Structure formats: C-alpha cells, structure tokens
Amino acid sequence: MNSLAPTAVAAPANRSMRVFLALASVYLVWGSTYFAIRVGLDAFPPFLMGGLRFLLASTLFYGALRWRGQAPPTPAQWRNAAVLGVLMMLLGNGLVNVAEQTVSTGLAAIGVASMPLWAGMFSAFRGRHPSRLEWLGLGIGFVGVVWLNLGSAMSASLPGTIALLSAPMAWAFGSVWSRDRDLPAPFMSTAAQMLCGGVIMIVVGLLLGERMHELPPLRPMLAVLYLALFGSIVGFSAYVWLLHHVRPALATSYAYVNPPIAVLLGALLLGEHVDAHVIGAMAVILLGVLIISRAKARV
C-alpha cells in the first residue's frame, strides 16, 4: 500500500508542472508577439504574413511529428482542423494583423483581452458554466488591462476596430468549439490547424490582392521567423495542450497577461518608461489571473 503513495503523489505534481510550463509559454512567448507582428507588418501584408508564418511552422512541426512516428490526422480530423484554421488562424490571428496596421497598441491589447470573456460566454452556452469566482477573475483581469492602457493613444480606424472586435470572438469560439471535436493528439492537432490555416490565409491574401514585390528587409523577416518558431510552434502547441487539460477560463487567461508582459519587454529591451500606473494595473491583472487559477468550474 505505502509503495504506491509516491506514484500517486507524483502524478498530480507532474501535471501541475506541465500546466505551469504551458501557461508560462503562452504568457511569455505570446506577450512578445505584439512587437514581432508590428515589425513584420513593416514589410509583409497581414494575411500573407500570417500564412507564411503558419506554413513554415506547420511544415517543420508536422514533418518532425511524422518522423517521430505520430499518425497523421484522419479525414474527419482534417476537416475539424480546417474549421479551426479558419476560426483561429484566418479570423483570430489574421484580423489582429489587419487591426495592427491602423489600431494603436493599447486598443489592440484591450480588444484581445476581451477574448476570455467571450470564451466564458461561449462555454456557458455549451453547458460549461464558469463559476462565480471565475467570472470575478475574468472581470478583474479585463479591468486591469483597460487600466493598463488608459494612458495609451487610443487611435483606431473603423475597419481596424471591426477587425479587432471580430478577432477575439472567433478565437474564443474556436477554443471552446474544439473541446468537443474529433482531433488528433494535441501536438499533431496544432500542426494540422496551422497547416490548414496557413494555406487558407495565403489564398485569402492573394484574393484580396496582397502581393510581395521585393525581398523584405532582414528585420521583418526575422520577426516572421520568430513568430513561426516561437509564437506558433511553442506558444500555440502549449495553448492547444492547455485546451485539452484545463478549464477554458485558465487556458485563455494569457490574453490578460500578454499586455503587461509586452510592457515589461518594452521597458527591458527598448527602455520604455514604467510608472506606478503601469505597476498598479499589472497587479490588478495578476489578481484576476490568480482568482481564475484558484477557481473551480461549475459544470
């Protein structure tokens, strides 16, 4: 009897560590992608940039998984991956790229931070009701992001605003919808979704008239490479794994943590100013995430 105790204790500890590492990945890596997207848009049109990013990432990732012996998705799984490619890659990521051409960074952060609230509502519609404590954490986190960006220039065009409102809704719906679908193992699911989404984004970009007329400068090319290797392979893999193993409110909490991470990176790498206003807002955001992480979902 006693000999089984260490194994019983180790299993929850192992899972907790995996959840921690996955959350750290989406918090830190996706927090840095605001800057990378803005740099990439200096030379790439929005949908072609996203399509190239996801095609590069999925080709490398899918090839590595098949080389390691993972089975390819079934036809039904490919269909589900294509739907998620439209919702999360084309609409979720592509519309953020479109918005960042004309929308201020502060407004973009607020728009993306509405995603966990949409995810909570879509989960409730599907019978997975967030608990009162989760709703409290979601609300506090969103207030913190708004506070963080109150000092920003809230400039926006009408098309950029519409894109910014639509992107988190599509991403949230795809995140919730994916939990009940026939999909391959999380890593293969990541590769399949990115492959489908990348192809669709390039087709849409070409239909909209997007073209690359010359070789981009090195800095935007490195930004897209970073988005492919870290933002897509590392960050998105961690996110898909979280969707399979934790509550939607916790998996989507990255949207609250990414803005302060972006602010801290700006302070460390670009020398941007961080004052008491920023520190207070980040404390409120972290309080909201802490409440979400400690809450239990009401099913």
Phi first, then psi, for residue 25 (nearest 5°) are -65, -50
Residue 1, domain member (yes or no): no
Distance in angstroms (rounded) separating the CA atoms of residues 266 and 78: 39
**195 has pLDDT over 70:** yes
pLDDT per residue as tens digits for the range 163-193: 878 898 899 899 889 888 999 998 999 999 9
At 45 the pLDDT is 95
Distance in angstroms (rounded) separating the CA atoms of residues 79 and 181: 10
Angle at 268 between CA 263 and CA 274, to 5 degrees: 50
| Averaged pLDDT score across all residues of the chain | 83
pLDDT per residue as tens digits for the range 204-214: 999 999 998 88
Residue 2, domain member (yes or no): no
**84 has pLDDT over 70:** yes
298: β partners: 129
Residue 17, domain member (yes or no): no
Distance in angstroms (rounded) separating the CA atoms of residues 107 and 117: 16
Sign, CA dihedral 130-233-198-212, equals positive
134 vs 206, more confident = 206
Distance in angstroms (rounded) separating the CA atoms of residues 200 and 203: 5
At 299 the pLDDT is 37
3-state secondary structure of 71: coil
Q: Sorting pLDDT into bands at 50, 70 and 90, what band is 135? A: confident
At 115 the pLDDT is 81
243 HSE (CA, 13 A, CB side): 27
Residue 16, domain member (yes or no): no
- Contact residues for 20 (Cβ-Cβ < 8 A; gap 6+): none
Overall number of domains in the chain: 1
- The alpha carbon of residue 62 and the mean position of all alpha carbons in its chain are separated, in whole angstroms, by 20
Express as a percent the part of the chain with pLDDT over 70. 82
Helical ranges in 85-131 per DSSP H:
94-99, 105-113, 115-125
Q: Which of 32-41, 185-194, 269-278 holds the top average pLDDT?
A: 185-194
Q: Sorting pLDDT into bands at 50, 70 and 90, what band is 52? A: very high
Residue 187, domain member (yes or no): yes
Residue 12, domain member (yes or no): no
Range of the domain at 259: 29-294
Angle at 27 between CA 249 and CA 248, to 5 degrees: 15
Distance in angstroms (rounded) separating the CA atoms of residues 257 and 264: 11
Q: Which of 159-163, 221-225, 240-244, 290-294 holds the top average pLDDT?
A: 221-225
3-state secondary structure of 208: coil
Residue 24, domain member (yes or no): no
At 298 the pLDDT is 43
129: β partners: 298
Residue 21, domain member (yes or no): no
62 vs 149, more confident = 62
